[in-house]
């Protein structure tokens, strides 16, 4: 059995067990959830460490397991990792454990809550592990629906109902458009299989006609794009995250949202290469829309969660830009940003959730001086905000820099705009939030906020440690991503073009510096 099956299996198994535990055993449910997510995390770490030494199977995947499911339709349970998803799965497992840790804030309907949290975790990890398009989609939906229900039941704020409505509508539309694209791809390929490895190989040797490619690509681009809050389909994200319970916001903004990007990189680019090349400029323009427009909106926010939500949407622009560059450096950077941003989003939403629980508000005008009563949380907040502006030393810096370098040759105009958005706009709202929330005089609050105790510090410490680790030693990630990103670039552009070769050289120099 592949370790991936354990990673996906522990949370789902625990969800089934929880269903049979009477609802007054609250501690048991919490411990069970922590245990299952912790076991997933342990296996994920082990897999990440052993990745280099593992046997490489068909299509460059390791730790592969395939079980036929519906043979008449060519559906099989098929999991495996390559350099691109190994980091994402590690990040997902870490965020899931952190999300389970911060769930102490939930006081009602605990049984349903932990059950949904575990199903969501299993779905997320399954989606990133699947090499079968059907299960890829199936697991994603399995994770998506708990999101809606959790926001609806345990969400906060006056906008909760509207937020639930909006996020449900947007994401369902996105998911169904992507599903239509996937089914069309399956039918066009005519292999009667959802096996991604076989489809990739087949479509590399016998590409679809340009007409078919151009017909299917928009389904995938906009379907997946809506799921990643591609501008201008992003408005569900800030409001949704603002109303979501902390763990849901962490898991969705951190991990689940990356599913769309992952789908674009793994499916849309290699399977529809000609169409992808034609759409590059549109993607780049929308990416800059994300970075600039949402950054600008973030500057106007007075609510900390809305600010973080908008900034998280803005960061997604970098991954789209890296993807649009179609260069080795750009795509490597995009994947690095996905991982770094996952950790960062989980960290910031976790912190803001903590602050909300302690102070009862997230209005930056009513907050201030939190560094004094809660030095740990305040410091972590400052560090998270710095990571958000792309300070070197955090993983985000490595990723964003790679994206900007990778996109320079083909999309230089967009890069200038993106860099401006990241460095100037990002710094303005992040630093202003730091000033308003953690510095200055402490306002009158109902009770003095308390700092986190050792146990409640744990999720934040883990996330920060991972951000710093990948920031200081990006090669741990980049060396894993690079060969597989190179494969994807080769599949899209047909050859290792000169730009890519240059990029390789630059990447080597970058490694040497680290």
Partner 1 sequence: MNTSLISLELAVVGLGLAFLLLDLWTPAELKRQLGHAAAVCTALLFVFSFFVDASYVREAFASAYVMDPLAIYFKRFFLLAGTIVLVLQVQYADRIKSGISEYYSLTLFALAGMMFTASAMNFAVMFASLELVTITLYVLTSFQRNRLESLEAGVKYLIMGGLASALMVFGIAFVYGSAGSFVFIDIYEKSSTLIGNSVFLIGLLLVLVGLAFKIAAFPYQIWAPDVYQGSPAPTTALLAVGSKAAGIVLLLRIIYGVAPGVMHQWAPVLIAISAISILYGNLCAIAQTSLKRLFGYSSIAHAGYLLLGLAALNATGASAVLYYLTGYLFTVLAGFAVLVVALQQLDSDDLSGLAGLNERSPLLATAMTMSMVSLAGIPPLAGFFGKFLLFKAALEEGAMQPAFYWLVAVAIVGVVISIWYYFNVIRAIYWPRQKADLTPITVPLPIKATLALCMAGMLFLGIFPSIPLELTSRAAAVLPWLH
Find the part of the chain contacting partner 1 (CB under 8 A) among 3-11, 90-98, 179-187, 358-366. 179-187
232 contact partners, CB below 8 Å, separation of at least 6: 286, 289, 293
Q: Which is nearer to partner 1, 54 or 153 (CB)?
A: 153
Residue from 43, 47, 64, 112 binding partner 1 (CB under 8 A)? 112
Residue among 81, 127, 177, 249 that touches partner 1 (CB under 8 A): 177
Residues 6+ apart with CB under 8 A from 205: none
* 402 sits near partner 1 (criterion: CB under 8 A): no
- From the CB of 15, what's the least distance to partner 1, in Å? 11
| Smaller CB separation from partner 1, 176 or 504 | 176
Rule CB under 8 A: say whether 25 interacts with partner 1.
no
- Listed in sequence order, the residues at least 6 apart from 11 whose beta carbon sits closer than 8 Å to its beta carbon are 36, 37, 40, 96, 118, 119, 121, 122, 125
Residue in this structure with the two tokens 């342990």, named with its chain if needed: 42
What mask, x for binding partner 1 by CB under 8 A, covers residues 157 to 176? -------xx--xx--xx--x
1 binds partner 1 (CB under 8 A): no
Q: At what angle do helices 412-420 and 273-289 cross, to 10 degrees?
A: 30
Q: Which stretch, 145-153, 324-332, 349-357, 376-384, contacts partner 1 (CB under 8 A)?
A: 145-153
**Using the rule CB under 8 A, is 210 a contact of partner 1?**
no
**Please, are residues 314 and 493 in contact by the beta-carbon 8 Å criterion?**
no
> By the 8 A CB rule, do 319 and 265 touch?
no
- Least distance in Å: CB of 166 to partner 1? 11
d(CA 41, CA 115): 18
CB of 169 to partner 1, least distance (A): 6
Check binding of 187 to partner 1 (CB under 8 A): yes
180 binds partner 1 (CB under 8 A): yes
Return the axis-axis angle of helices 395-408 and 412-420, rounded to nearest 10°.
150
Residue from 13, 17, 179, 299 binding partner 1 (CB under 8 A): 179
* Tokens linked to 218: 């928009």
Q: With binding defined as CB under 8 A, does residue 106 bind partner 1?
A: no
Nearer to partner 1, 183 or 299 (CB): 183
Member of 13, 21, 34, 153 binding partner 1 (CB under 8 A): 153
Indicate whether 491 belongs to the interface with partner 1 (CB under 8 A): no
List all residues 6 or more positions away from 405 whose beta carbon is below 8 Å from its beta carbon: 329, 330, 333, 503, 506
Q: Cβ(380)–Cβ(464) under 8 Å?
A: yes
Identity of the residue, 149 or 306, whose beta carbon is nearer to partner 1 in the bound complex: 149
145 binds partner 1 (CB under 8 A): yes
Options 105, 141, 159, 303; binder of partner 1; rule CB under 8 A: 141
Least separation, in Å, of the C-beta of 482 and partner 1? 34
Closest distance between partner 1 and the C-beta of residue 12, in Å?
A: 10
Choosing from 31, 45, 56, 70, the residue that interacts with partner 1 (CB under 8 A) is 70
Left if phi > 0, otherwise alpha if psi is -120 to 50, otherwise beta: which for 229? left
Interface with partner 1: number of residues (CB under 8 A) = 31
SS3 assignment, position 246: helix
How many of the other CB atoms lie within 10 Å of CB of 268? 29
Query: Which residues have C-beta within 8 Å of that of residue 119, sequence separation ≥ 6?
Result: 11, 12, 15, 142, 143, 146
Residue 28 in the binding site for partner 1 (CB under 8 A): no
CA 179 to each of CA 10, 172, 198, 301: distance values in angstroms, whole numbers, following the listed order: 27, 10, 19, 34
Q: Does 506 engage in binding with partner 1 (CB under 8 A)?
A: no
Which listed residue (72, 205, 453, 495) binds partner 1 by CB under 8 A? 72
Nearer to partner 1, 73 or 505 (CB): 73
Tell me if 20 contacts partner 1 by CB under 8 A. no
Q: How far apart are CA 14 and CA 37, in angstroms?
A: 9
Structure token digits, residue 10: 């522990």
508: tokens are 């080597």
Contacting positions for partner 1 (CB under 8 A): 23, 69-73, 75, 109, 112, 138, 141-142, 145, 148-149, 152-153, 164-165, 168-169, 172-173, 176-177, 179-180, 183-184, 186-187
């Amino acid at each position: 059995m592949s370790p991936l099956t354990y990673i996906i299996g522990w949370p789902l198994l625990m969800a089934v067990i929880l269903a049979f535990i009477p609802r007054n055993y609250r501690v048991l449910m919490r411990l069970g959830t922590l245990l299952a997510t912790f076991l997933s995390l342990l296996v994920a770490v082990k897999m990440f460490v052993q990745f280099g030494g593992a046997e490489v199977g068909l299509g460059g995947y390791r730790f592969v397991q395939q079980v036929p499911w519906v043979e008449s339709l060519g559906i099989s349970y098929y999991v495996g990792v390559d350099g691109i998803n190994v980091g994402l799965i590690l990040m997902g497992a870490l965020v899931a454990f952190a999300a389970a840790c911060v769930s102490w804030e939930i006081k009602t309907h605990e049984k349903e809550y932990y059950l949904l949290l575990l199903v969501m975790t299993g779905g997320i990890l399954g989606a990133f592990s699947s090499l079968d398009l059907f299960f890829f989609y199936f697991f994603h939906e399995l994770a998506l629906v708990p999101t809606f229900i959790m926001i609806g039941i345990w969400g906060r704020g006056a906008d909760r109902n509207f937020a639930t409505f909006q996020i449900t509508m947007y994401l369902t539309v996105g998911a169904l458009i992507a599903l239509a694209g996937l089914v069309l791809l399956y039918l066009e390929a005519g292999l009667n299989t959802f096996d991604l490895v076989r489809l990739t190989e087949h479509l590399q040797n016998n590409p679809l006609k340009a007409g078919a490619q151009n017909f299917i690509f928009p389904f995938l681009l906009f379907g997946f794009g809506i799921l990643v809050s591609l501008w201008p389909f992003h408005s569900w994200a800030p409001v949704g995250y603002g109303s979501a319970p902390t763990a849901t916001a962490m898991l969705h903004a951190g991990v689940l949202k990356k599913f769309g990007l992952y789908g674009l990189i793994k499916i849309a680019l290699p399977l529809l290469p000609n169409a992808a090349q034609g759409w590059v400029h549109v993607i780049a323009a929308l990416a800059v829309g994300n970075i600039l427009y949402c950054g600008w909106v973030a500057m106007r926010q007075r609510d900390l969660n809305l600010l973080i939500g908008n900034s998280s949407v803005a960061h997604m622009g970098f991954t789209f830009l890296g993807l649009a560059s179609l260069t080795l450096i750009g795509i490597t950077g995009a994947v690095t940003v996905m991982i770094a941003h996952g950790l960062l989003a989980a960290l910031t939403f976790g912190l803001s959730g903590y602050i909300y629980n302690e102070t009862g508000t997230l209005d930056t005008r009513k907050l201030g001086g939190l560094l004094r009563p809660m030095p740990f949380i305040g410091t972590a907040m400052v560090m998270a905000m710095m990571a958000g502006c792309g300070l070197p030393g955090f993983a985000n810096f490595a990723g964003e820099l790679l994206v900007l370098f990778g996109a320079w040759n083909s999309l230089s105009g967009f890069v200038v705009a993106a860099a401006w958005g990241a460095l100037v706009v990002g710094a303005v709202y992040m630093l202003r939030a730091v000033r308003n929330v953690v510095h200055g005089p402490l306002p009158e609050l109902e009770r003095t906020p308390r700092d986190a105790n050792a146990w409640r510090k744990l999720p934040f410490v883990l996330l920060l440690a991972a951000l710093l680790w990948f920031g200081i030693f990006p090669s741990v990630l980049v060396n894993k991503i690079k060969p597989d990103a190179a494969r994807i670039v080769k599949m899209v552009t047909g050859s290792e073009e000169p730009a890519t070769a240059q990029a390789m050289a630059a990447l080597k120099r970058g490694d040497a510096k680290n």
